């Protein structure tokens, strides 16, 4: 198993593996299937505008989807598990970012490691485009100003565990994260529910904060949810938050907060 295989397996367990998965997807090569031709063995094919799409496409309930793989070994595994003749398909490799760019530009979904023991993931075209351009891995800007929100305090029994649990996993791994809260964004009666996560970091680390945001997005699966940071001072201070609501995460060595 390579790094991407391990990231896929871990992402099947928890959305907190999303940052490692996205980074591994952009490294090295990705593999796809092409119709078998004996004369194409070890040949290099240059993709040009107007030429037929070279990779095998499948169909599911949402339309066309392209199977791609983390290595040639995973291609062989998938074909063997499906009981397909080795003369039906060949394996073709491309630099990972180029393959993501091509498939994203064609607005195609992909299914990653279909039929493999690593687990299988379906990735939408907008994510492929953001990974290919590097946008998905760019840290969030911290100078975007503040926004006034009406936040409703949640009873801990009502915490959305599908969001809180993967966030907790990444928060406890890094000392930069000191405390975190989750609120309903707006009235408690609003449907569907929208949540807002607030995080206190010391020191601030943009890459780690973006990893937390990627984890939250993966856990939310399209559900409206936001994330923001708090500081020692200001209208949304750490001390004020401790007074207003219990955090769902506090670093073990955080100690008492000044003014709380």
What is the mean predicted confidence (pLDDT) over 217-233? 86
Check residues 235 and 107 and name the one with the higher pLDDT: 107
State the pLDDT confidence band at 11, using cuts at 50, 70 and 90: very high
pLDDT digits (tens, 9 = 90+) for 78-116: 999 988 877 788 888 999 999 999 999 999 999 999 999
How confident is the model at residue 145, as a pLDDT? Answer: 54
Tokens of 115: 């039929």
Alpha carbon distance 33, 110 (integer Å): 12
Q: Please give the mean pLDDT across all residues of the chain.
A: 86
Q: Where in 153-258 does DSSP place strands (E)?
A: 177-185, 195-201, 225-230, 249-250
| DSSP H or E run through 168 | helix 161-171
Q: Residue 253's pLDDT is what?
A: 86
Residue 46 clears pLDDT 70, i.e. is over it: no
Q: Are strands 225-230 and 29-35 parallel, antiparallel or unpaired?
A: unpaired
* Residue 260: predicted pLDDT: 41
pLDDT for residue 183 is more than 60: yes
Please state whether the peptide bond connecting residue 79 to the residue before it is cis, i.e. omega within 30 degrees of 0. no
What pLDDT score does 259 carry?
40
CB 149 within 8 A of CB 181: no
Q: How far apart are CA 89 and CA 183, in angstroms?
A: 51
Compute the distance between CA of residue 174 and CA of residue 206 in angstroms, rounded to an integer: 13
Which pLDDT does position 258 carry in this prediction? 42
Per-residue pLDDT band at 139 (split at 50, 70, 90) = confident
Q: Is the pLDDT of residue 227 over 80?
A: yes
pLDDT of 49-60, one tens digit each? 555 678 899 998
């Amino acid at each position: 198993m390579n790094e991407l295989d391990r990231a896929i397996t871990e992402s099947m367990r928890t959305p907190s593996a999303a940052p490692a998965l996205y980074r591994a997807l952009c490294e090295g090569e990705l593999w796809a299937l092409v119709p078998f031709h004996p004369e194409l063995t070890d040949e290099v094919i240059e993709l040009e505008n107007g030429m037929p799409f070279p990779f095998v496409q499948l169909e599911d309930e949402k339309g066309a989807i392209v199977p791609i793989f983390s290595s040639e070994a995973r291609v062989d595994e998938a074909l063997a598990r499906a009981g397909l003749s080795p003369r039906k398909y060949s394996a073709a490799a491309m630099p990972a970012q180029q393959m993501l760019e091509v498939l994203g530009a064609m607005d195609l979904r992909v299914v990653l490691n279909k039929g493999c023991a690593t687990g299988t993931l379906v990735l939408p075209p907008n994510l492929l485009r953001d990974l290919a351009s590097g946008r998905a891995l760019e840290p969030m800007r911290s100078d975007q100003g503040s926004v006034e929100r009406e936040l409703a305090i949640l009873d801990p029994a009502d915490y959305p565990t599908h969001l809180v649990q993967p966030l907790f996993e990444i928060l406890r791994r890094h000392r930069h994260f000191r405390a975190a809260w989750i609120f309903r964004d707006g009235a408690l009666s609003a449907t569907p529910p929208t949540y807002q996560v607030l995080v206190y970091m010391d020191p601030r680390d943009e890459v780690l904060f973006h990893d937390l945001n990627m984890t939250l997005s993966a856990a939310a699966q399209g559900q409206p949810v936001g994330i923001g940071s708090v500081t020692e001072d200001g209208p949304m201070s750490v001390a004020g938050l401790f007074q207003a609501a219990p955090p769902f995460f506090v670093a073990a060595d955080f100690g008492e907060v000044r003014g709380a």
